[in-house]
Chains A and B, each alone.
Chain A
Amino acid sequence: MGLCVIVVVAFAIGRYPVPLPDLLRILWSWAGGAPHGLDATLETVVLQIRGPRVIAAVLVGAALAAAGAAYQNLFRNPLVSPDILGVSAGAAVGAILGIFLSLGVVAIQSMAFAGGLASVGMVYLVARAVRGHDPLLVLVLAGVVLGALLSACVALMKYLADPYNQLPAITYWLLGSLASTDARDMWVAAPLLLAGLLPLWLLRWRINVLSLDDEEARSLGVSAGRIRLVVIVAATLMTSAAVAVSGVIGWIGLVIPHFARLLTGPDFSRLLPVSVLLGAGFLVAVDTLARSIANIEVPLGVLTAFVGTPLFLWQLATARRGWQ
């Protein structure tokens, strides 16, 4: 319900405001109904520009929040974000390499997606190779170390990049934005995002049990290692697809599951849908702010941090129910 209101408001706000009746008429004619008889510019705004952008915000926000919620359960730590295994750093390296080599938009997005998958894959293989320690701890350590290495690669490429053409593009990408999203992006990204969401929903009860000790979860009949792999693959697929579309957007995966947990308690079967709705609503709202509060676009990664940090601190100070 709240999400619908936010989406309608998001359509209404902007250089070409689209009030609800006009929006419905345009959508109706697009779906094959009677011609809307409105300005053609308005139709372009709805179908080509603002529509894909709002849908992208819904999907990216939902994906990041869902991946964050799953990871917080998986790693038994409420301070974990979907980045913990290096997915954003890997995607950044992929995308920046694409920009560095002056590739096209589609190629850059594909490289970001592949980079995210590759870095998490590497972290997982490294963690598998190291035996005799707590598997979760090794996984996190490998993720942090590899993430640091990839950040160094990003820094190196920024240093070497052409400061007039490439560097601004790199910086812009790293700050995250939905401004250049078009309908075609969504046809590619949406199935990937939904494909990641599905296993998380199906395995919701096992993911609950995984938040216990590994040995305890196994004594309850859960093949902890296998379920963990599936969750990591699903979350990585979603996060990589999201980052490829929008660039690096922090905070959502960390903060939104917290708020959701305050509303629903820790049971993942309720936590997941609520996280998805809150994440989608939050990103649509922030993205609407990003394109309307100033004459220029405010980068999303910057704005989510500006909005997210005070929210997070406020929550940290007032509520301790979500985690102990």
Chain B
Amino acid sequence: MKLEAQSLAYGYPGRRIGSDVSFSLNAGEVLCLLGPNGSGKTTLFKTLLGLLPIQDGTVMLDDRDLQRLERDEIARLVSYVPQAHGAFFPYTVREVVLMGRTAHLGLFAAPSARDHGVALNAIRRMGIEHLADSTYTRISGGERQLTLIARALAQEARMVVMDEPTANLDFGNQVRVLERIRKLAADGIGVLLSTHDPDHAFLCADRVAMLHNGGLLACGMPDIVMTSAQLQQLYGVEVLVTEVALGQGKRRVCLPLGMHR
């Protein structure tokens, strides 16, 4: 199972945001997308999911052309975790996660006992059983994020696209969500996520893609691609990538400079 973009151009109708973007993501791998505000990360994701029309190039899902797939076929191959949001009606967490089963249901069907089982299992994997019967509109932002990831798991797709899963979360919840993402990859799911924090890429990504000025600046292993110079070019501020000793090994971190020089 593979998600592949080939010289993809994307944007909104009448407005191109990026072009000539090529990369691929395999099942079991975490690909982290970095880019400044307005670089079109969300637009790119929506195009990959078939929510926006492809302007040029192709997207292949499991070696099939995205544009020839029906909505429910796409949903069974790749799931989407949007940024945590409010809901319009007070569904319970269980009901929200159950909605992830929709692509597996017949047009006139409601979720069966089996679907309830899959949803409950997804809720357990995210460690939020205690919230199952809480109202989605009344839980915290971090809990909503975990609920939406659980919904994506209930969808049983091999690829998950996550739009800034750590936005609006406190420090502890950010780490917790990143850990869960690593675990999903270990279970054989391919994860494509965007983040504003380059350290998150060091923490969880197998590969990093940098989106800048409507194109890919670089794509590769974090330790190779994420250099001080590259990050400086990406964000337009001075950055130092350095290593800290951590027990036996070392870990790279990213420090913003400029403020205290």
Interface residues of A (CB under 8 A from B): 73, 76-78, 131-132, 202-206, 208-209, 211-213, 215-216, 218-223, 261, 265-267, 269, 321-324
Q: Are A221 and B71 in contact (CB under 8 A)?
A: yes
Q: Are A265 and B90 in contact (CB under 8 A)?
A: yes
Q: Given the known A-B contacts A216-B80, A219-B75, are A209 and B88 also in contact in the complex, defined by CB atoms under 8 Å?
A: no
Contacts of A73 in B (CB 8 A): 89
Q: Most chain-B CB neighbours within 10 Å: which of A202, A206, A208, A220? A: A220
Contacts of B82 in A (CB 8 A): 213, 215-216, 219
Cross-interface CB contact of B51 among A131, A204, A215, A265, cutoff 8 Å: A215
Minimum CB–CB distance from B75 to chain A (whole Å) comes to 3
For A199, the closest partner residue in chain B by CB is B108
Contacts of A261 in B (CB 8 A): 89
Contacts of A323 in B (CB 8 A): 88-90
Describe A's contact surface by its main secondary structure.
Answer: loop
Q: Are B102 and A209 in contact (CB under 8 A)?
A: yes
Q: Considering only CB atoms and an 8 Å cut-off, how many residues of chain B contact the other chain?
A: 38
CB within 8 Å of A: which B105-164 residues: 105, 107-111, 137-138, 151, 155
Minimum CB–CB distance from A119 to chain B (whole Å) comes to 26
Q: Are A215 and B102 in contact (CB under 8 A)?
A: no
Question: What is the CA–CA distance of A110 and B83 in the complex, to the nearest angstrom?
Answer: 49
Q: Are A204 and B110 in contact (CB under 8 A)?
A: yes
Contacts of B234 in A (CB 8 A): none
Q: Are A219 and B49 in contact (CB under 8 A)?
A: yes
Tell yes or no: B7 within 8 A of A by CB. no
Tell yes or no: B79 within 8 A of A by CB. yes
Cross-interface CB contact of B108 among A202, A215, A222, A324, cutoff 8 Å: A202
Q: Are A221 and B75 in contact (CB under 8 A)?
A: yes
Question: What is the CA–CA distance of A177 and B102 in the complex, to the nearest angstrom?
Answer: 42
Question: What is the CA–CA distance of A265 and B87 in the complex, to the nearest angstrom?
Answer: 13
Question: What is the CA–CA distance of A102 and B72 in the complex, to the nearest angstrom?
Answer: 53
Contacts of B72 in A (CB 8 A): 221-222
Q: Are B105 and A205 in contact (CB under 8 A)?
A: yes
Question: What is the CA–CA distance of A223 and B109 in the complex, to the nearest angstrom?
Answer: 15
Describe B's contact surface by its main secondary structure.
Answer: loop
Contacts of B203 in A (CB 8 A): none
Stretch of B58-66, B92-100, B188-196, B215-223 that contacts chain A: B92-100
Q: Are A222 and B102 in contact (CB under 8 A)?
A: yes
Cross-interface CB contact of A208 among B99, B100, B107, cutoff 8 Å: B99
Contacts of A208 in B (CB 8 A): 91, 95, 99
Chain B window 63-78, contacts with chain A (Cβ cutoff 8 Å), 1 for yes, 0 for no: 0000000111011100
Question: What is the CA–CA distance of A206 and B138 in the complex, to the nearest angstrom?
Answer: 24
Contacts of B151 in A (CB 8 A): 220
Q: Are A218 and B71 in contact (CB under 8 A)?
A: yes
Question: What is the CA–CA distance of A213 and B82 in the complex, to the nearest angstrom?
Answer: 10
Q: Are A205 and B102 in contact (CB under 8 A)?
A: yes
Beyond A204-B110, A221-B76, A322-B90, 6 extra complex contacts between A and B, CB < 8 Å: A78-B89, A131-B13, A211-B89, A213-B85, A215-B51, A269-B110
Tell yes or no: B38 within 8 A of A by CB. no
Q: Given the known A-B contacts A213-B82, A267-B95, are A221 and B88 also in contact in the complex, defined by CB atoms under 8 Å?
A: no
Q: List 15 A-B contacts (CB under 8 A).
A: A132-B13, A205-B109, A208-B99, A211-B89, A212-B87, A212-B88, A212-B99, A219-B79, A219-B82, A220-B102, A220-B103, A221-B71, A221-B76, A321-B90, A324-B90
Q: Given the known A-B contacts A202-B108, A219-B80, are A266 and B102 also in contact in the complex, defined by CB atoms under 8 Å?
A: no
Question: What is the CA–CA distance of A216 and B74 in the complex, to the nearest angstrom?
Answer: 13
Minimum CB–CB distance from A221 to chain B (whole Å) comes to 3
Contacts of B105 in A (CB 8 A): 205
Q: Are B99 and A209 in contact (CB under 8 A)?
A: yes
Q: Are B71 and A266 in contact (CB under 8 A)?
A: no
Contacts of B87 in A (CB 8 A): 211-212
Minimum CB–CB distance from A199 to chain B (whole Å) comes to 9
Q: Are B102 and A132 in contact (CB under 8 A)?
A: no
Contacts of B14 in A (CB 8 A): 132
For A132, the closest partner residue in chain B by CB is B13
Question: What is the CA–CA distance of A266 and B87 in the complex, to the nearest angstrom?
Answer: 11
Question: What is the CA–CA distance of A219 and B152 in the complex, to the nearest angstrom?
Answer: 10
Q: Are A220 and B155 in contact (CB under 8 A)?
A: yes
